[in-house]
Chain A
Amino acid sequence: MLSSRMRSEPWRAAPFLLPLLALLAAWFVWPLAQALTNSLHPNTPQGIDAGQWTLANYARIADPLYAGVVVRTLRISALVTAISSLLVYPVALATTRLGPRREALAILAYVSPWLVNTLVKALGWNLLLRPTGLVNAALGEIGAGPLRLMLNETGVVIALIPGHFMFVLLPVWAALKGLDPALGWAAGTLGASRAGVFWRVLFPLTLPALIAGLAINFIMNTTAFAIPMLLGGLRNETASMLAYRVNLVMLDWPFGGAVAVVLLVFTLLLVWGGQRIATLAVPGPRA
């Protein structure tokens, strides 16, 4: 009875929802809206000219000066996502076979790079990849190298992989765990080889999870900031570094706002697209 009284007065939820709504409205929705309107005004030496409206800030992103940054960002991100997609199945399958205790530890280990501060990882990769770093020292021992492994795109790709691997691993691992263990066995009794079981049973059934994970991974790569900055260097500018330069060095907020809006729209499209493809990928009932 008490419960039905509560349900019939849903407006009583309002005071509970209000603080969080206020916080998000004032410090999240409003600032984003303001960046959007800033991006539609021209920048003048006196500041933002709010009297005029323009799309010129968006056209500037296509300028050859900045288009190279876009292409580089997409290239690095695609490479990281592709390598992650190759690594994910061996890792996920091996992890599910470890037994509960070691499995939990392995998952925690794969999640840890995401929990540990990016700068710690950047420092670690710097120590490994720099000209006098551990990798080149090891190569020197066997008479090879030295290789140029950082302050270029190679360094960025290497350092981004582990940091964002978890976004692919967790969905695929969870999807594999969710499958009936008898599936592989059943396919085996019907004559499928181990590769056949994987390609014709496990892979198609976990493909939606993989696609959703890859989309998130790709976004995390395109919007990464500290790793590209510290391992790629200023000469290998990526989207986030450009956003930093435009907003904090050039102080051109209308153009900076346009960069933000484009990155946000791109992100939302990928999340939405990833989930749509994921639902289309497997016809019929899904786990």
Chain B
Amino acid sequence: MIAAVNALVLAFVLAPIVLVVWMSFTPAAFFALPTGQFSLRWYREALSYPGFVDAFFLSLELAALAAVLALAAAFLAAYGLVRFRPPGSGALTALFLSPLLVPAVVFGIAMLQFVNRIGLYNSLFGLVLAHAVIVCPYAMRSLEVTLRAVPEEMEWAAMVLGPNRMATLVRVTLPLCARGLLTAFLFCFLLSFSDVTVTIFMAGPSLQTLPVRLYTYMSDRVDPTVAAVSSMVVLITLALVLLAALLGGVRRLVTR
């Protein structure tokens, strides 16, 4: 019995995603479930619509910048916490993870009012920093685990042989954390790439990321073009998640 319930819930959870991908291949001029004939016409349509193409590249740029920034800051902070155990480590960790507790709407409102006040409305810089804040708890959580797994003795050994702490950090610790850094990067990138709410609240007219463009488009009309764009988004998500899974990082991020 419970196996049947599980199968039903699984279908319920996956149905909308599968359906979007399936319908994006329709040869018809409207939404239909293609059965015999499949076509890429809506993909051509989507790729020839500059609104989506520009938004896609903006989203890539934003996600890459935000992820790198968050990773750099979180890596240093995790290193400081794990290796030196400064007083108040618990409170610092709580602060570093606290963006998780703030709903996207709330952060979006605060950022909207803030970037307007300091004259950074509609600037990529302001948006990149906001996305870095959103993803930094994930980077922090993942990199702390990664760093704890790097034996401190290796760093001592290196330092005994000559290089100072910074050189050791760059030439010994960083390479040892490469896999963890890459997994964390993939997740931070994906989370930034997917954000709708914060971006809708704070981004100005010239910062229409792909999710924001999709949202505006869908508020107006729904046609197979959005299904094609959505399918490409699903494909990118799937690729990132599979890559992260291969690197062994999924469980670390979704369970505590």
Chain A residues within 8 Å of B, Cβ to Cβ: 2-3, 6-7, 9-17, 19-21, 23-24, 26-28, 30-32, 34-35, 38, 87, 89-91, 93-95, 97, 106-113, 115-128, 134, 159, 161-162, 165-166, 170, 174, 219, 223, 225-226, 229-230, 239-240, 243-244, 247-248, 253, 256-257, 259-260, 263-264, 267-268, 271
CB neighbours of A17 from chain B (8 A): 76-77, 80-81, 86, 92
**CB pairs A–B below 8 angstroms (24 shown):** A13-B80, A19-B72, A20-B77, A21-B95, A27-B132, A87-B9, A89-B2, A91-B9, A113-B13, A115-B194, A115-B241, A117-B211, A117-B230, A120-B20, A123-B230, A125-B16, A128-B16, A174-B255, A225-B105, A226-B197, A226-B215, A248-B112, A257-B109, A267-B103
B133 in contact with A24 (CB, 8 Å): yes
B164 to chain A, nearest CB (A): 12
B219 in contact with A23 (CB, 8 Å): no
A24 in contact with B106 (CB, 8 Å): no
A226–B133 CA distance with the chains assembled, in angstroms = 21
A127 in contact with B136 (CB, 8 Å): no
A148–B113 CA distance with the chains assembled, in angstroms = 38
B242 to chain A, nearest CB (A): 9
CB neighbours of A230 from chain B (8 A): 215, 218-219
A245–B15 CA distance with the chains assembled, in angstroms = 31
A17 to chain B, nearest CB (A): 5
B196 in contact with A226 (CB, 8 Å): yes
CB neighbours of B87 from chain A (8 A): 10
The answer to the question of B181 belonging to the interface, with a C-beta cut-off of 8 Å to chain A, is no
The answer to the question of B64 belonging to the interface, with a C-beta cut-off of 8 Å to chain A, is no
A258 to chain B, nearest CB (A): 10
A263 in contact with B254 (CB, 8 Å): no
A126–B222 CA distance with the chains assembled, in angstroms = 9
B106 in contact with A94 (CB, 8 Å): no
The answer to the question of B104 belonging to the interface, with a C-beta cut-off of 8 Å to chain A, is yes
| Nearest A residue to B1, CB-CB | A90
Chain B residues within 8 Å of A, Cβ to Cβ: 1-3, 5-6, 9-10, 12-20, 23, 31, 33, 69, 72-74, 76-77, 79-81, 83-87, 92, 95-96, 98-99, 101-107, 109-114, 117, 129-130, 132-133, 136, 140, 152, 156, 159-160, 190, 194, 196-197, 200-201, 211, 214-215, 218-219, 222, 226-227, 230, 233-234, 237, 241, 245, 250, 254-255
B20 in contact with A124 (CB, 8 Å): yes
Which residue among A30, A243, A267 has the maximum number of chain B CB atoms within 10 Å of its CB?
Answer: A243
CB neighbours of B200 from chain A (8 A): 225, 244
CB neighbours of A125 from chain B (8 A): 16
A134 in contact with B19 (CB, 8 Å): yes
A123 in contact with B218 (CB, 8 Å): yes
Not counting A27-B130, A243-B105, A260-B106, a sample of 14 additional A-B residue pairs whose C-beta atoms are within 8 angstroms of each other reads: A3-B156, A16-B79, A20-B73, A23-B136, A27-B114, A30-B114, A31-B110, A34-B110, A38-B113, A90-B1, A90-B5, A122-B218, A128-B16, A225-B105
Classify the secondary structure of A's interface with B: helix
A243–B95 CA distance with the chains assembled, in angstroms = 25
A97–B2 CA distance with the chains assembled, in angstroms = 10
B101 in contact with A271 (CB, 8 Å): yes
A102 to chain B, nearest CB (A): 11
| Nearest B residue to A166, CB-CB | B254
A21–B17 CA distance with the chains assembled, in angstroms = 38
B76 in contact with A267 (CB, 8 Å): no
| Nearest B residue to A241, CB-CB | B105
A148–B242 CA distance with the chains assembled, in angstroms = 38
A6 in contact with B84 (CB, 8 Å): yes
A127–B87 CA distance with the chains assembled, in angstroms = 54
The answer to whether A109 and B13 touch (CB under 8 A), given A117-B237, A263-B103, A264-B102, is: yes
B6 in contact with A106 (CB, 8 Å): yes
B16 in contact with A109 (CB, 8 Å): no
CB neighbours of A15 from chain B (8 A): 80
A117–B193 CA distance with the chains assembled, in angstroms = 9
A170–B253 CA distance with the chains assembled, in angstroms = 12
Partner of A260, one of B23, B73, B110, B190: B110
B84 in contact with A95 (CB, 8 Å): no
A225 in contact with B104 (CB, 8 Å): yes
Partner of B96, one of A24, A90, A264: A24
B113 in contact with A120 (CB, 8 Å): no
B159 in contact with A2 (CB, 8 Å): yes
Partner of A121, one of B17, B23, B226: B17
A32–B103 CA distance with the chains assembled, in angstroms = 12
CB neighbours of B73 from chain A (8 A): 19-20, 23
